[in-house]
Structure 1
């Protein structure tokens, strides 16, 4: 399944160019020409990345970035700001509200694609395409599905990413701080106890056949994913 990129740009020629370039490189482009349409596009399946123009009808790119980072279901989506603003203060402001990178117009398609690939690698270190299976629990990062036998397991995007990280890094203890960095990302500021909340949700989602016991609490250290129950 191709990675989805939401292109939020009010100028039609630029939006069409971005969509064409993304399609040529195997991405699935979703378009929005203003603030409100961008919000309407932010539903499941969520985009893997947002290309966000600074100036938009109905609101600014800065306002939209802030909104994305406050929402539990969208805060982990990486953002690349697109703008004609090249001043250092503007770049810093964009990064401070949660943007992962900043591309100043005009830019070449080659530069843009390099930035997109770099951001996806950086913010999604567990972004492997291979399916992972441990004791009948299977996770497919491409289709974004988790199954146990023939049963599909439902969970939120954060729980999915947390499970993906655990299953690709088994038998090792991770502190809450390490999990925040690896799963939520370095640009997200949340309380350590947020990890505990999502661990509880994840355990409930995978309790079929006792898989919840594979997420083990290591007192005073953090959490470990282990098939040794």
Structure 2
């Protein structure tokens, strides 16, 4: 109890200090971001440059032109592609030229490929062995994959249960086309899971936004598929 109390007080003190830092404290505005707990095993298995990038990007310490100007290392804060102000957020998700060149699309499709592969592997497994994957709906309406054991106390009905003819299509060049009921519209969901026998359709829409714009991105996706 003493350890928990000390840890809680230190967390409050750390957040209060971070809120007062306009640059390194930006992560305090990530209201919808899921908490990620890294173990020492996770850290040791990561490539050094990767863990360095993750930490420095969270605290906005990457050498963007805006930061280089702030540190007295450069005189020009503009982006060489679009000539906007080159911040970390700009490089990772806001540069219009990078968007038109497909740089963000490449990142999006790599994440989508992983999701589609996992769903395709899990389809048709009405009684999958433990551990397996099942889909639950999170508070923000996105789909979240969770491990599940087959014990009676931990049994929970998932989206893919009760049917063994699920077909999976993804909006990727190497994957099958979406079913006709989807292709009748001009919209192209990232992943479509459908069962011809039960006429059930589930759509998975993926977006890879900057952490401070997750709510806006989610709202945009919902409105885009409202009809």
TM-score norm. by structure 2 comes to 0.24
TM-score norm. by structure 1 comes to 0.23
Question: Which one has a bigger Cα radius of gyration?
Answer: 2
